[in-house]
Each structure stands twice: as structure tokens, then as C-alpha cells.
Structure 1
């Protein structure tokens, strides 16, 4: 029986595990574990993998490595610099990956009430423990409801001006390529969570996310399928990114707000 990423009681099952990592990425993950421990020492509470590597769907030479790091306190500028150096080193040393993304937070923020249905959910449901004690033990179980939809992706309207500024400042093909991957991923996942409560399930597969969305919004289905393809194979064409900013993004932000509301403002950190 297909539970659509949920257990028999309708709660999220954790997405990914160390046991699913493909042999081609085993050395990379071992190196990441060792370098994280060495770089952060006793500042590190725990570290997690997320994305295609722990799901066992990574493509050698094309997928990136995604890490979440939880520190005992809020990260400093030095901690962020350390993450940048760490990510750059892994990317250079392992041709199996095309980039490294690192999220860095203090453990108190990850467990805080304002983040309960955003970062907390993300850690508990989409992240695979790599190092340290799992913070998910202090978080609740989650269902794919409208509250979760609102708190995870209900801020697209606020993000779009920043995306436009980033686009206007870009000039190099590599910059447009990075934007095409990042923006398309975010838009496809936002489109999926728009319909997630009605579909009553979860998938991290971008192609499947686009297909699910298309059942509810057939007029936008082709657009989402194209965005899912770009997320997997990013392009250097700025016209692709511009279409996200001028059409798909604004429409999706308005539809999201109408169905689920706007994400609750977070305290300044």
C-alpha cells in the first residue's frame, strides 16, 4: 500500500537514512563527518544530511551535498566562515558532487516554538542524523496540514524582492545557473506544499511534486514540470530565471497566501 510518505497513523515518516547512501558517496559522507567534528569541536551539537544523498537518489557529478549543522549556541561569523571553508573543501575534493550547501543554526532556535512547524519539522522529517544526539527526539510528530504548509513556504512573497535583486546584480553564466537551480527547487517545493494538505502525503521527488501539483492546477502543470527539470539540470539562460520572477513566482505567492495564509513573522536573530 502506498502511504505517500506517511506512516499508518498519517504522520510523516523520516525522509532518508544512512543505509540508503550509494557506494559512490560513502567516502564523501565519511569525510564530511570527520571534517565537521574537527572543524567545530565542542561547539557542535549535531549534524545532519538531507537531500538526494541520504535518499539514495544522488547522481554522481551532478547532485550536491546538503548538510544541516546544529551548534550549542547561535552561530558566529567565524562559525559561518568555517562552514564556507568546509563546504568549499568537500566540493573540491570530491568530484562526485556539484556543490555543497550548509545550513547552520543554534540548537535552541531549531527547537523553538516559532520554528516548530518550519525548521523543527525540516529537521525531524527531512534530515538524517550524521553526528551527535538527534534533536528530533525533542520535536513532535507532524501531519501534512495547512499549518505546516503555511509555516514552511508561506513567505514566498517576501522572498521574491530579494530574488529579483540577486538577479539584477548577476552577470556571469555561472550565477544564472546557480539561481536557476535554487529558484526552481524552491518554487517546485512551494507548489507541492500548496496542494500537500489536499493530497495528504509527502514526496521529496521534484518530478513527482510537479506531477501532483499539476493534478490540481492543470494550467500550470507544464510550467512546473519544466521547473522540476531545471532543478535537476540547471541552465545558464537568464530568461528562464526571469520567467520565475515575472510570472510563476508572483502567481504562486498570491495563490499560496489565499489558500494557507502568510508565514508567521520570526523574531530577529
Structure 2
């Protein structure tokens, strides 16, 4: 772990491992997990696995913890929780989503490391669809949220998130014979451009927005709508 992030991660484990939250395991993913995070620029990305399905009360408590960590640690620009239950993770139908995610993208910070329950996965279209097959609904929702953003700062944060989702979702178009799996956004772009060189300008726009969001709302929305429509047709 990068030393500058260690106090934050220690605090996260203490805050989330309280008995009343019913935590089974806390997992770190993203740039901090890879060890290439930039203080004041990177997000804190966590997957939380609870012993049981969370109640509305527990979800409210987790949201309060998330906001508190975000407020107290300007070291990260945003704190994200992906929340599931132990039963969800171990369900056979979630092998290529939760199983792959924990095995290949996460580091267990605290609790039971359910990644040990899974064999290593080979890169495949099945995994890509399990992880990002929801791209149409998620990106359509981002378009609506961007249009409703009350401040420019909120809008730019949403554009950054939408661009990242889109770049990762390009994996649903991966060639069947592809043998690698990208980790960084740049690697996603590189693999995509190998198959679709004619789309290099469009995908480069979203890579820039994923790192330094700055495009006007209308320009971003038009480009996202066009790329999303193309992806839907191409996938079909």
C-alpha cells in the first residue's frame, strides 16, 4: 500500500467493521489497490460484502459512514461503496460477476476473503457481459443525471464517472479470441482501438473526460448518446 493512504484504510476498516453493520469482508479496488493512486485526485473504491442482505437501516448507516469518510479525507476526491451479501457473492449465477471481481480486481482489507473460494478466471466475453452488460441502462441514467446537475462541479463529477463506465463497458465488444484483460482505463482504450481503429477519436475524448472532465454539458451528452447508440447496435 502507498503509505499516504494507509491511515485512511485503517480508519475505513475500523469504521466499517462495527458489529451492527454485519460486515463479512471489506475489499479495495481501483487505483489505490493497484498502488498508483494520486493524492487529491484518486477515488476510494470499496466493495463491501455483508453477512446478510442489508436492511434499509444498515444501508442508511453505511451511507452515513461513506459521507463521513469523504468529508474527513480530502486525500480522495470521492468514496464509492459497492454493496452485496455473502450469499450473492457465492451464488452460482454470480460467478462471472462477483466471483471474477473479487478474484481479479480486489484486495481484501478486512474479514473473510471470499476471493479464495474461486479459481482464477480466463478472460472471456462471459466475464465482460457479467461485469458491464448493464452499460445501456447505466449510461442512460448518467445522461439524465448530468442534465439535472445543479452545479458545474456535480456535472463534471458525473461526466467523469460516465466516461469511466463507458470505457470499461467497451469490453462487451471484445473479440472472442482476445487473451488479455485490461486493468487501467488506458489499457481498455488500447484493446478497444485494436478492434475498432476508426473509433480512436471518439474513445480518446472519453479517456480525457475520465481523467480531466471539462467538456460542456451539451457536447458531452451528444457524444455519449452517439457512442452509446453505436455500441448497442454493434453488440447486437
What does residue 142 of structure 1 align with?
121
Assess if the C-alpha contact under 8 Å between 1:48 and 1:129 holds in 2. Answer: yes
Equivalences for residues 19-168 of structure 1 within 5 A: 21-38=1-18, 40-41=19-20, 43-168=22-147
Assess if the C-alpha contact under 8 Å between 1:196 and 1:202 holds in 2. Answer: no
1:221 deviates by 1.2
Q: Measured at CA, do residues 234 and 79 of structure 1 come closer, stay the same or move farther in structure 2, by a change above 3 Å?
A: farther
What does residue 229 of structure 2 align with?
250
Decide which of 167, 191, 200 is 1:221's aligned counterpart: 200
What does residue 237 of structure 1 align with?
216
Moved more, 57-66 or 214-223: 214-223
What does residue 199 of structure 1 align with?
178
Structure 2 portions without partners, runs of 5+: none
What does residue 267 of structure 1 align with?
none
Higher-RCO chain (CA-CA 8 Å, sequence separation at least 6): 1
> Using the alignment, how far apart are the partners of 1:232 and 1:61 within structure 2?
13
Moved more, 117-126 or 44-53: 117-126
Assess if the C-alpha contact under 8 Å between 1:68 and 1:103 holds in 2. Answer: yes
1:119 deviates by 2.1
Higher helix share: 2
Alpha-carbon deviations, 1:190-240, whole Å to 9, x = none?
114522644311222111211221121111112212212211223363134
Q: Measured at CA, do residues 99 and 196 of structure 1 come closer, stay the same or move farther in structure 2, by a change above 3 Å?
A: farther
Assess if the C-alpha contact under 8 Å between 1:176 and 1:237 holds in 2. Answer: no
Tell me if 1:189 matches 2:158. Answer: no
SS in 1 for 2:229: helix
Assess if the C-alpha contact under 8 Å between 2:125 and 2:174 holds in 1. Answer: no
Structure 1 portions without partners, runs of 5+: 1-20, 259-269
Assess if the C-alpha contact under 8 Å between 2:164 and 2:210 holds in 1. Answer: yes
TM-score w.r.t. the length of structure 1 is 0.81
1:91 deviates by 1.5
> Using the alignment, how far apart are the partners of 2:42 and 2:22 within structure 1?
29
> Using the alignment, how far apart are the partners of 1:121 and 1:52 within structure 2?
18
Compute the RMSD of aligned alpha carbons.
1.9
> Using the alignment, how far apart are the partners of 2:99 and 2:22 within structure 1?
20
TM-score w.r.t. the length of structure 2 is 0.91
Runs of 4+ residues over 6 Å off in structure 1? none
What does residue 152 of structure 2 align with?
173
